[in-house]
């Protein structure tokens, strides 16, 4: 999985560094999401050190990708999905307009276009 993850990482960074500034969306700070440190625990065998480094990178990268995708979604489509008992909405959807709420969508969309990134963010961001 390291090859697809590295390709995702390169593509994500290219998108994040070129499109976000054009749209006026504040960039996420990469080091806040990807932390590779558990391999430094001296009691771990070498195989687990490698596994811990991989997991820190993979999980951090995917968390970072969710943040970037969420910020993109917040910018373009601040509207919740239709109700579904199986869907687990991400935390950033809490401030989105309800599905089909034209007025709520319009208000949030125009607010985001005027002040990108000013909508309430996920806790911990």
- pLDDT truncated to tens, each residue of the chain (125 aa)? 999 999 999 999 999 999 999 999 999 999 999 999 999 999 999 999 999 999 999 999 999 999 999 999 999 999 999 988 899 999 989 989 999 999 989 988 888 777 765 544 443 44
Q: Determine, yes or no, domain membership for 22.
A: yes
Q: Which domain holds residue 66?
A: 2-114
Q: Determine, yes or no, domain membership for 17.
A: yes
Contact yes or no for 122/74 (Cβ under 8 A): no
Q: Determine, yes or no, domain membership for 74.
A: yes
Q: Determine, yes or no, domain membership for 7.
A: yes
Which among 68, 81, 80 is positioned nearest to 121, based on CA atoms?
68
- Tally of domains within the chain: 1
Strand, coil or helix: what is 97? Answer: strand
**Axis-axis angle for helices 2-23, 46-76 (nearest 10):** 30
């Amino acid at each position: 999985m390291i090859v697809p993850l590295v390709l995702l990482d390169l593509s994500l960074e290219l998108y994040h560094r070129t499109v976000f500034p054009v749209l006026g969306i504040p960039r996420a700070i990469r080091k806040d999401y990807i932390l590779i440190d558990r391999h430094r625990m001296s009691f771990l065998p070498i195989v687990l050190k490698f596994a811990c480094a991989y997991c820190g990178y993979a999980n951090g990268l995917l968390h970072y990708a969710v943040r970037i995708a969420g910020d993109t979604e917040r910018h373009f489509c601040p509207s919740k999905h239709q109700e579904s008992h199986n869907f687990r909405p991400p935390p950033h959807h809490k401030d989105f307009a309800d599905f089909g709420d034209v007025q709520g969508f319009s208000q949030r969309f125009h607010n985001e276009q005027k002040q990108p990134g000013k909508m309430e963010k996920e806790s911990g961001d």
